[in-house]
Amino acid sequence: MGPYNPYSGQGGRPGGPKIAPELRHLKRLLSSDLEYHHRWQTHRFLDQDAPDGRWLRLGEPDQIAEISVVVGLHHYYLARAHEYTGRTRLMDSRKQLIKDIPKAELHIHIEGSLEPEMMFDLAQRNGVTLPYADVESIRTAYQFDCLQDFLDLYYQGMSVLLTKQDFHDLTWAYLLRCRDDNVVHTEIFFDPQGHTGRGVAFETVFEGIWSALQDGEQQLGISSRVIMCFLRHLEQSDAMATLEEAGPFLDRIAGVGLDSSEVGHPPGKFLDVFDRAGELGLKRVAHAGEEGPPEYVYAALDGLLVDRIDHGNRALEDPALVGRLVELKMPLTVCPQSNLRLAVVRDMKDHPIRAMLAAGLKVTVNSDDPAYFGAYMNENFNALVDAVDLSADEIIKLVKNSFNASFLDKDSKQQHLETVRVLVED
């Protein structure tokens, strides 16, 4: 008979020590506790019948892994197994809540929802040559570790978007993901300068996006707002020209934003264009405190007079700034998976979302550029559950924040919040 296998319960000396069936999965679940070292050595178990507690040699060094298990630990491991099962069930219940609860997304760049398959299809449809042989090559290229590397790929991807139908198809594909993730309201960013600068008319871009959003409301029941962003690596004069070009469409544009490369391009560059947007009755938001320092958040508050801060992670470095944001009830549209992929945090376990909530900040969860970062809304929430043990109460708080921080009218906000209340109370 061969050496005893504690996971199958087979083999070993007749009448010798056996490990209960509940422990068979511990190699997978609790390998660190069992000192499983992934090297081929000797398999030893304490002989329950031996008064001197001697070890039985049940295998040869080149046959099986070294796992030292004393019988005294038997019940400990059983307890750990049951504890693990309880945690898994709790985690599953929170992920079901994430799936079921209606949500608003407030930080999504529509160009950042361009999946590799669509990029390749649009390139073929429009006769655009890409430096990639196939979809898998594009997907491989969606690997980067800093904001600038991502932006270089992001702007390259835009090159396949040429017609109204292209922008419609891009937006519709995102709305289908909203439906799947139970996102019932979305406020999307678009970057007109990234298109007009390569010869695509503003009208083509906007009407393509708008037609899909209208279809989304009629067919999917998803409401939306559009936020026109200025590219901060360009000059303010370019942003002002874009605002003027948008004039005929402003009745359908909810606000303006500021995105692209943050470091070296402080909010103060864009004071005049944001003042003008305010005069036109537009909401104002700005990316600040992602890679840029806390001073950029101050500048967005005091100079641009923003209604929301996009990202804002680095505000935590300045306690006085945190206090001010709390006092203002200023929303922060946080993007966890984006933060990980762009090295704002080194590990999702280090993400400050719970610290932000504990500090009283009005934070929300969003996907940012989901095709490039590999995570839409629910995947961002699920990642936080896995990494930082986000609680059900915290999930509910984040969802409520998303509606309260939206640019919906008061009645619409209350309707969504009531739906959330009924769901979580039931």
CB 311 within 8 A of CB 340: no
The Cα–Cα gap between 408 and 212 comes to 19
Four-point Cα dihedral 238, 242, 245, 247, nearest 10: -130
Of 105, 187, 290, 291, the catalytic one is 290
CB 325 within 8 A of CB 367: no
Query: Length of the chain, please?
Result: 426
The Cα–Cα gap between 15 and 48 comes to 10
* Residue 354 CB contacts under 8 Å (≥ 6 apart), including other chains: 388, 390, 394
Q: Which tokens hold the place of 10? A: 């087979």
203: annotated active-site residue: no
The Cα–Cα gap between 119 and 369 comes to 14
The Cα–Cα gap between 116 and 143 comes to 12
234 C-beta neighbours (distance < 10 Å), count? 18
H helical segments located in 35-189: 74-100, 116-126, 135-141, 147-158, 164-180
CB 102 within 8 A of CB 400: no
Strand partners, 65: 40
Please list the helix, strand and coil fractions of the chain in percent, rounded to the nearest 5, in that order.
Answer: 55, 15, 35
Q: What are phi and psi of 357, to 5 degrees?
A: -65, -45
So which residues are the catalytic ones? Answer: 290
